[in-house]
Amino acid sequence: MNEYRRLTMRTRPPGLLTRVATALVAATVLIGAFFLGLFALAVFAGLALIITVTLAVRIWFARRALARRAGESTPPHAHGEGHIIEGEFIEVRRRSTSRRGPP
């Protein structure tokens, strides 16, 4: 029991040099972890951008190929041509307030 107590108990608190060295190592580890995380974020953002652009280009080429097969060179909405909805309307005019008498 006495040997256990001797091994686990500190005889004196850590000195100034030990505390400064510990703080420097801790700061270095934290800064390194921050920059490693920043690098990983940049890599993942770059990969996401590459995948997004690749998918957008593939979809654009697929739509273009489908439009050519349908007999058109480009989709109709590319030239400002849209779908035309036909219908009838009736113009309703409000009476002017000058014809009315006082309220």
pLDDT at 85: 76
The whole-angstrom separation of Cα 103 and Cα 99 is 12
pLDDT at 39: 98
pLDDT at 8: 66
pLDDT at 26: 97
Place of tokens 């850590």: 14
* 3-state SS class at 97: coil
- The DSSP code for 93 is -
Domain limits of the chain?
Answer: 35-75
| pTM of the complete model beyond 0.75 | no
Cβ atoms of 51 and 43 within 8 Å: the answer is no
pLDDT at 86: 80
From the first residue on, what is the mean pLDDT of each consecutive set of 10 residues in the chain (103 residues)? 65 86 96 98 98 97 87 56 76 72 56
The angle subtended at Cα 49 by Cα 44 and Cα 52, nearest 5°, is 125
